[in-house]
Amino acid sequence: MTPPAASAKSEVVPETAPGAKTETEPEVVPETASPTDRDQLLRFVERFALVLAGSGIPRMPARVFAYVLAEDAERYTAAELASGLRVSPAAISGAVRYLVQVGLLAKEREPGARSDHYRVFDDDVWGMISAHKLPLLQTYEDAAAEGAELLRPGSAGSNRMRETQAFFAFLKTEQLRVLERWREHRRHF
């Protein structure tokens, strides 16, 4: 998913986190897939969106994110997303705002352009999502440690909090190792 390098004429002005990709990607070309291919894509997007929604992503942002992952273009305007998903532009507006806020999509605008473009925030989106969960694991570990210290030593509650603390410490360490292995694995496919 690495986009071509930017040309001197079309510099991108990022509205993303420091260090995020800023290369210009080609404009989205009109739909050339057959109606059957398009329908198949949209059926898959709906199924995958249900999986994402089941993990806590609101329904419309899940649909937009599933579409951006599955459709072939590298970046989209809100109008292109609305057309591609066959929904209203108003539905897209809230969805892309949510996806940008949670770091799943990046929003960019080329100088002089009137439309924002949206793309997957990071080429390694799933690795990035997993890495962003590490601070939460630390928070759980710290909260459990506090509980274990406050409760009567040797009590059932204190023991459960110690085990909870140990679990999240273990999970955090293993998650770091998994991410390192994933980055290595990703270089080879």
Q: Is the pLDDT at 123 greater than 60, yes or no?
A: yes
112 and 141 share one domain: no
pLDDT band at 21 (very low <50, low <70, confident <90, very high): very low
pLDDT score, position 12: 39
Under 8 Å between Cβ of 125 and 104: yes
Tell me, yes or no, whether 18 lies in a domain: yes
Q: At 76, phi and psi to the nearest 5?
A: -145, 145
Name the residue range of residue 109's domain: 13-122
Tell me, yes or no, whether 82 lies in a domain: yes
Q: Is the pLDDT at 22 greater than 90, yes or no?
A: no
- Above pLDDT 70, what percent of the chain? 83
The CATH number for 29's domain is 1.10.10.10
Tell me, yes or no, whether 4 lies in a domain: no
58 and 20 share one domain: yes
Under 8 Å between Cβ of 110 and 13: yes
32 and 63 share one domain: yes
Tell me: the pLDDT tens digits for 140-183? Answer: 999 999 999 999 999 999 999 999 999 999 999 999 999 999 99
- Number of separate domains in the chain: 2
Tell me: the pLDDT tens digits for 40-90? Answer: 999 999 999 999 999 999 999 999 999 999 999 999 999 999 999 999 999
29 compared with 54, residue with greater pLDDT = 54
83 and 31 share one domain: yes
